[in-house]
């Protein structure tokens, strides 16, 4: 966690910057807003019990936003993949809907203007369900204490969840075994939350966490997913999770009317989805701007199709996919291999394609 710098994104939710990857984990305009607009709202027709695969779970904004929006009266299983366990453990404690005045007390602070973005929020029950699921999955790890007692993490923490965590921590002293730990959390539900929520949600929501390179994990998975989030770092920073071979694995795991969602609009990503066998379309915001890509085996799931110009662009050199045949190459190897393919390709160059159409 030392190499992460937290910052407040445009909607008030906490985002992280990684020094190691020299990249942000969350969009500056709003970590939570992004989760809703790119990973939740495109699923508007979800009306059954489903399996969700969250690739690059991180702090869990996408799954949490999804659960918050679709969780009522449904059975949802989330399989969450990330290489960094610290982020997963921190995820139920992240502030997602705090008022900015918590952070910026001074009335004239320039950040105060951000408080108008309160459109999306995550209710506490979501974080608490997550906390319980984490306790069950990561047995015998006293991560709650290590997080709550670490001053470094204070700015991440949601006050209500902290109170619950402390309550839990205090009571656990008298109730050391795993069964009692869960019982304790169960009681906390009833103490802090409306019974209506609990009755409807408690047993229906399951989280499973896989801490490993997502390439290793997907090889082992064999169920079908209705919704897949792909929230990896950008293609040139993490080509491992955008290669045709990796996306091919995701294709195998997608149910017949399932969807794969990503924030990426890039030509290479869209063409890789296409070559893997998916139908591909755009995720549009309210202003009709493309803010991501949706892929599905079911043509009907694609509401916003690529236009002729965009389709043509996919068949230029920029669309040549990354290859990682054994799902084990380094980023550098994957990039070098593709550069070679691009240099030897007979496809039209992207700059010529753009120039011919008066775009550059």
Ligand X SMILES: C[S@@+](CC[C@H](N)C(=O)[O-])C[C@H]1O[C@@H](n2cnc3c(N)ncnc32)[C@H](O)[C@@H]1O
Summarize as ranges the residues that interact with ligand X (CB under 6 A).
25, 56-62, 81-84, 87, 213-214, 231-233, 238, 240-241
E-assigned strands of the chain? 4-8, 14-18, 23-24, 50-55, 76-82, 205-211, 225-230, 254-262, 279-284, 290-296
Strand bridging mode 254-262 / 205-211: unpaired
Q: In angstroms, give the least distance from the CB of 221 to ligand X.
A: 13
Sign of CA dihedral 347, 350, 353, 356: negative
Spacing of C-alpha 20 from chain mean position: 19
Nearest approach, Cβ of 5 to ligand X (angstroms)? 14
Residue nearest to ligand X (CB): 58
The smaller minimum CB distance to ligand X, of residues 132 and 231, is found at 231
Closest approach of ligand X to the CB of residue 34, in Å: 9
Closer by beta carbon to ligand X, 158 or else 240:
240
d(CA 281, CA 320): 18
φ, ψ of residue 290 to 5 degrees: the values are: -75, 125
**Smallest gap, in angstroms, from Cβ of residue 128 to ligand X?**
18
Output 207 or 233, the one with its CB closest to ligand X. 233
Q: Give the burial class of 344: count Cβ atoms within 10 A of its Cβ; 0-12 exposed, 13-18 middle, 19 or more buried.
A: exposed
Q: Considering the complex, state which of residue 272 and residue 316 has its C-beta at the smaller distance from ligand X.
A: 272
CA distance 244 to 254: 15
What is the Cα–Cα distance from 161 to 169, expressed in whole angstroms?
12
Query: Measured from the CB of residue 241, what is the shortest distance to ligand X in angstroms?
Result: 6
Cα torsion at 255, 257, 262, 266 (round to 10°)? 110
* Residue closer to ligand X, measured from CB, 96 or 296: 96
Q: Tell the smallest beta-carbon distance from residue 24 to ligand X (Å).
A: 7
In the three-class reduction of DSSP (H, G, I as helix; E, B as strand; rest coil), residue 108 is classed as: coil
Distance of CA 12 to the CA centre of its chain: 18
Query: Which C-beta is closer to ligand X: that of 335 or that of 354?
Result: 335
Identity of the residue, 56 or 188, whose beta carbon is nearer to ligand X in the bound complex: 56
Nearest distance from C-beta of residue 215 to ligand X, angstroms: 6
Of 213 and 341, which has the nearer Cβ to ligand X? 213
Least Å from the CB of residue 327 to ligand X = 10
Q: Please, which residue, 124 or 213, has the CB nearer to ligand X?
A: 213
Q: 302: closest CA among 254, 242, 261, 264?
A: 261
CB of 59 closer than 8 Å to CB of 89: no
Residue pair 193/128 in contact (Cβ under 8 Å)? The answer is yes
Q: Which of 262, 260, 240, 263 is nearest to 28 (CA)?
A: 263
Q: How far is the CB of 96 from ligand X (least distance, A)?
A: 10
Pairing of strands 205-211, 76-82: parallel
């Amino acid at each position: 966690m030392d190499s992460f710098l937290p910052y407040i994104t445009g909607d008030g939710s906490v985002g992280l910057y990684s020094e190691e990857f020299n990249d942000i984990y969350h969009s500056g305009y709003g970590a939570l807003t992004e989760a809703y607009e790119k990973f939740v709202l495109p699923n508007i027709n979800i009306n059954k019990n489903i399996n969700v695969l969250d690739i690059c779970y991180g702090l869990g904004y996408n799954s949490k936003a999804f659960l918050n929006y679709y969780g009522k009266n449904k059975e949802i299983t989330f399989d969450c993949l990330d290489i960094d366990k610290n982020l997963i453990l921190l995820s139920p404690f992240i502030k997602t809907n705090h008022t900015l005045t918590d952070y910026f007390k001074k009335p004239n602070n320039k950040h105060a203007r951000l408080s108008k973005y309160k459109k999306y929020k995550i209710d506490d029950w979501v974080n608490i369900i997550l906390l319980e699921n984490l306790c069950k999955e990561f047995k015998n790890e006293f991560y709650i204490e290590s997080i709550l007692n670490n001053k470094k993490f204070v700015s991440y923490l949601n006050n209500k969840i902290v109170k619950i965590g402390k309550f839990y921590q205090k009571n656990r002293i008298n109730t050391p075994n795993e069964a009692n730990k869960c019982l304790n959390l169960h009681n906390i539900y009833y103490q802090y939350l409306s019974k209506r929520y609990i009755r409807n949600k408690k047993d229906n929501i399951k989280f499973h966490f896989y801490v490993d390179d997502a390439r290793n994990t997907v090889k082992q998975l064999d169920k079908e997913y209705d919704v897949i989030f792909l929230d990896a770092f950008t293609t040139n920073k993490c080509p491992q999770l955008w290669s045709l071979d990796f996306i091919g694995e995701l294709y195998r795991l997608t149910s017949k009317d399932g969807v794969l969602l990503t924030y990426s609009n890039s030509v290479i990503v869209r063409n890789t989805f296409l070559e893997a066998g998916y139908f591909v379309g755009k995720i549009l915001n309210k202003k009709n701007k493309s803010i991501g890509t949706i892929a599905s085996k079911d043509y009907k799931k694609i509401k916003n199709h690529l236009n002729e110009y965009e389709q043509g662009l996919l068949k230029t050199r920029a669309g040549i996919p990354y290859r990682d045949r054994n799902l084990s190459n380094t980023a550098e190897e994957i990039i070098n291999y593709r550069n070679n393919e691009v240099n030897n390709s007979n496809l039209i160059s992207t700059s010529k394609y753009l120039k011919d159409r008066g775009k550059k």
